[in-house]
Structure formats: structure tokens, C-alpha cells
Structure 1
Amino acid sequence: MASVPPAVKLKEGRIEQLVLDLCTPDRRQDALLQLSKKREIFQDLAPLLWNSLGTIAAILQEIVSIYPFLSSPTLTPAQSNRVCNALALLQCVASHPDTRMRFLNAHIPLYLYPFLNTTTKSKPLEYLRLTSLGVIGALVKVDDTQVISFLLSTEIIPLCLRTMEIGCELSKTVATFIVLKVLLDDVGLEYICTTAERFFAVGRVLANMVAAQVEQPSPRLLKNIIKCYRRLSDNLRACNALRSCLPDMLRDATFTNYLQNPSTINWLQQLLHKVQGPRVAAMQAGGFDHMLVN
């Protein structure tokens, strides 16, 4: 067996010491900062965080300590950044295959929901909202029905819809991605389309976002919106409803000069084919093909 180089041992020892420092209040802030920076290069950080005595509890203590400031204008960027570093470590745990289900079984995502439940648009709160969405996004990135089923047992859909309405562009994009990943799972699609209330809640927010794209276009966001509509059309009742409530701006030439991504155009063509029928979709396809050529 090859020996571990001294430099690697030194780095690993430094990481382990930083993890231990999380449980020491006067060392925690620096440890959070350093570990959040190193989480991408130390592959075993997630299991180390999870299996170290008291570490997850210390991280959650950081998160809970900021709750009283969420409805107050006194939340500072420094406070927000510190908690965002803690959330970044939770994202690391949520991303790792050895800790993902333990993370879920401990119901740790629920600790993030107060950040998603805020309506204030201040930058410190927006950073908390975005970083929390990053944790949930890490969970759904790997297709797993267990993850989707857990999230659906919570308030994740209403919370994402709220962010899709009030968040910054990046927060909206991540929240829409989460809703899309839920929809792409058969359990998630069935859940959202089971009742008219759920379907129209999602449809209303998507339609408002489409309208907003005219004033403030975002290729990534529009792609996720179109994908959400396309996946909804796989449900027969939802597809029938979309025939009357799909925004006209997705049917006409509103985004002709804006849609440049071939995959986005393909998703839109599929959507129109299912909602409007092959004949109408084919008539519009010429315009999309022209966009692909140019």
C-alpha cells in the first residue's frame, strides 16, 4: 500500500482540526470560513462532519441563532455570511452519497425553511435564501424518489414558489430548478397534478415568470420554466389545462430573437406539440428552425 505523502497528511490534519474547532465557540467563525472554502477539494469532508461528535449540532446552532433576526432590519452582512458558511457545509453533507440519506432522515432540511419563508429582499436575507436553496438543490440534483418524497412531505413547493416570485434572478433560477426536479420524478408530477389547487398554484407562478422575462430576460431561468411546462404536459389533465392557460408569449414570436439554445428550443417545440397538437406546432416550428440556423 502506498504511503500518504506528508503534505497530504498535513492538509488532512488541518481539516480535522478545523472540524474540531467548530465545537469551540471562539474558533467557530474562522473554522466555518476555512472549511467552506475547502469543501470542494476535500472529498471526505462530509462524512467527517457527520461522524464527528457534536459537529452537526454546532452547525445547526449557528443556523438557529440567526432566526430572531430574519424579521428584523438589523441583520448584517457579517451575520449573513457566517450562517451562509454554515449552510455551505450542510450542502456538502447533502451532496455526499454516504451522508445524503442520513441528512434527510434527521430532517435537517427543515432548519433551512425559515430562510425560504422570508419575504424581505435585503441582500443579507437574499444570500441566506440562495444558499439554503443550494442545499435543497444538492439533494435533488441526484435523481432519487426517496428525496423527492421527503421534500413533498414538507412545504418545499410553496416555499420554492414564493422564492420564484420574490427572489433575485439566481434564487429564482435555483428554486425553479428544484420544482423542475420534483416534476421530473413521477411521484412529484403526480403530487402536483393531483389537485387543481396545486397545479394552478404552480401554473400561476410560472405564467408570471414568463411575463417578467419580457422585461428582464434570463436564458437559464426561461429554460427551466419551459422545462417545467413541458413536464407538466406529460400529465393528461395538466396538458388539457395548459391548452387554455399556457402563456401566449410561449406560443407566439415573443421570444423569437431571444431563444438561442437548441435544447431550450427543442423543449418548447415538444411542449407546443403536446399542448396545441402536431399541426399547429409544425406551423410554428419553422420560426424556431430559423432561430437554430441563425
Structure 2
Amino acid sequence: MYSAVAQHGSVNAANNSNNNNSNNNNNNSGSVSGDAATPNLNVAAIGGTGSSNPPPGVVPSKNKALNDEQIYQWTSELVNGVNRERALLELGKKREQYDDLALVLWNSFGVMTVLLEEIISVYPFLHPQVLTASVSNRVCNALALLQCVASNPQTRGLFLSANLPLYLYPFLSTNSRQRSFEYLRLTSLGVIGALVKNDTPEVINFLLATEIVPLCLNIMEISSELSKTVAIFILQKILLDDQGLSYVCTTYERFHTVSSVLAKMIEQLSASTANSHQQQQNQSNGQSQAGQQGNGQQQGGQQQSQPSNSSGRLLKHVVRCYMRLSDNLEARKALANILPEPLRDGTFSLILQDDVATKRCLAQLLSNISEQ
């Protein structure tokens, strides 16, 4: 049953959660408590017993984080220094530079604990919703480093074994449309998205067991288009796994909940497409009367078409979710009756005109349900 995310215990952070934070204007010392759910920490799975030197058993090589002395200076600052916020920012800048940064983060003593402290320290700002932009930016820098760990094949399993994704669920459970909360949800989704990107059954089973699907569905309804796109990408990856498809289609209630959210997204995309077409038509009419000013207005018209590109990415995932649902016989029978009309009548033909793969997927979907 699609209920609220399961509670995993109360939040009680130790008084030392901010021992290294006193100079960062972040008055969160003391115990942290709140209504948000938090999992039990698997200390053995998290713990790295290394130091600020390269992790044991790993041979340094050229162009690797293991050879960059600045990496170890910033990890040391993160754990023991007074400028933790700067360390988070600088380490985040190294993510795109080094593929093996995750190994350093995981195996360097105290780093993962510090990242968890940063996350837990934000829980009191969720209820009541008083999250400032500066606090949101700081925790998102910590989440970016967690995403680095989640995306690395050598640390992904350890990341799951430590139950670390569960610490992000309170962020994903928020409903505020304030920019600081939107940014927090989007960055948290990025961590989950990094986990599912490689189609690992263990990841899917973990996410199903911890009820990520209701959280994604809620975000698909209330958040910005970018957050919706990441959330439905996660849902699509879950559905592509046989266990995930079975989970959604086991009961009609689950299937109906998922299909209803997808239908709402199609309705929103259809309205957005109609508005975009109307704007372009108005601009076209204006350009025909504007003489020499037509070139400038044409550029404006091209800028107006950009939302369609963004909508196209979202539409692609919606179509593929429907397509995957149609692989289930019972779901296929239901889709024959409830598939939204805009997917049948060519409403999105302009958006999909250059997307051959999605057009083919939509055609196959329509063929599947027509057989019922």
C-alpha cells in the first residue's frame, strides 16, 4: 500500500555533532531531535580506519585523487579543522576531476561520519520549515560527496550496507516549494539516481524495501520540472527491474497510484505544450507584422521553445514508464482503458519529432494496449 515512508526511529544525534563546526556560524550543537525518520547506523559498514594518507592496500597512480595532496589536506580539514564548510566545497570541486575520490572519502578516517553529521544537523530545520539558503547549500555540498560515493562501483555496496540512503528520506519527504527545499530534494534525488544508474538488483531491492516509490511519486506531483525528471528517472529504473515491476503491479492499488501520477504528468505536459504552441503562434503572427524587428523577435521565439526541450525529457521517461508497465499482462489490460488521450492523439508529435527512440517506444506502447 502506498503509505507515507516508514518510520525508522527517532533522530538523536550526539552532542559532539558540531565539535568541529564552531566557527561556521551554524548553531546546531547539542542533541538533534525531530519528527523526521532516521535509520539505525551500521557503523561497521561505514567505518574507514585509514588516516589522511592514501587508503591502505591501494597503489597510487597518476592523475588520481590518491596522488593529490590537496585532497588529503581538505579531508583532514573536514574532520579536524575549523573550516568544514570550505572543505566540503573544495572536495566537491574535485568530484568531476577524479573517478577515485569516492575511495578516498570512504576510507579516510571520520569523513563519512562528518557527512552524516552535516545531514542530521539539518533535520530540525525541516519541521517547522525554516531552512535557509545558506544551510541548504551547505548540506547539499555534503550530499554531493555522498553522491560521489554512491556512484562508485567499489563503494556503492558499502554505501547500501550502511543504510546511508535512509538518511536522505526526511529530505525527500518535504513538501515545501521554497527554493531551499527544492534544492535539497533535487540534490538528494541525485544521490538515489546515482545508485540506480547501473541497474543493480541489490540497489532496487533496497529501495523497494525502504519505500522509495511513494517518495518519488510525491515529488513527481509537487516539485519543479527538474526534480520531477530525476524522480521519474528513478521510478523508471525501478520498473525496468523485474522485481520493481512486480512490486508496482502486485496490487491494483499500487498500479493505480503510479498510473494516476503518470496521467497527471501527461495532463500537465499537454497543457504546457498547448501554451507553448499558442505563444509560438502569437509570436509568428507578430513577426509577420514587425518588418525589420522580426529577427530579434524570432530569437525570442526560439528561446520560448526551450521549455519544450525540457518537457521532452520528462515526456520520454513518462512514456517509458507506461511502456514498461504494459509488459505486465494485468497492467496492460488496465492501460487499454486508462492511458491518457494525449498519448494517443498526437498531442506530443512536435515535441517528439526529433526523438526517434521515444516515438518508437510510444508506438510500441499503443500497439501493446491495442491487442487487449
TM-score scaled by structure 2? 0.71
Local SS of the residue matching 1:197: helix
The amino acid across from 2:228 in the alignment is: K
1:142 aligns with 2:235: no
Superposed, 1:1-294 pairs within 5 Å as: 12-24=68-80, 26-217=82-273, 218-260=311-353, 261-277=355-371
Local SS of the residue matching 2:245: helix
What are the ranges of 5 or more consecutive residues in structure 1 without an aligned counterpart? 279-294
Alpha-carbon separation, structure 1, partners of 2:90 and 2:328: 47
What are the ranges of 5 or more consecutive residues in structure 2 without an aligned counterpart? 1-59, 274-310
Q: How large is the Cα RMSD of the aligned pairs? A: 1.8
Alpha-carbon separation, structure 2, partners of 1:19 and 1:229: 45
- Report % sequence identity: 55
* Counterpart contact for 1:94–1:138, Cα < 8 Å: yes
- Shift in alpha-carbon separation, 1:139–1:194, aligned structure 2, 3 A: same
Alpha-carbon separation, structure 1, partners of 2:61 and 2:161: 35
Alpha-carbon separation, structure 2, partners of 1:191 and 1:90: 27
Alpha-carbon separation, structure 2, partners of 1:8 and 1:130: 29
Higher RCO (CA < 8 A, seq sep 6+): 2
Q: Which has the higher helix share?
A: 1
How many pairs align?
Answer: 275
Per-residue CA deviation, residues 135-191 of structure 1 (Å, 9 max, x unaligned), is 000000001111100100002000000000001000000000000000001111111
* Counterpart contact for 1:226–1:268, Cα < 8 Å: yes
Local SS of the residue matching 1:62: helix
Alpha-carbon separation, structure 2, partners of 1:127 and 1:74: 14
* Counterpart contact for 2:221–2:265, Cα < 8 Å: yes
The amino acid across from 1:69 in the alignment is: F
Q: Match for residue 32 of structure 2? A: none
Alpha-carbon separation, structure 2, partners of 1:246 and 1:28: 51
Measured after TM superposition, the shift of residue 11 of structure 1 is 6.3
Per-residue CA deviation, residues 13-68 of structure 1 (Å, 9 max, x unaligned), is 11011112211362210010011111111222101111111110100100010111
TM-score scaled by structure 1? 0.90
- Shift in alpha-carbon separation, 1:177–1:210, aligned structure 2, 3 A: same
Per-residue CA deviation, residues 212-252 of structure 1 (Å, 9 max, x unaligned), is 00233500000000000000000001001101111111111
Q: Quick check: which has more Rg, 1 or 2?
A: 2
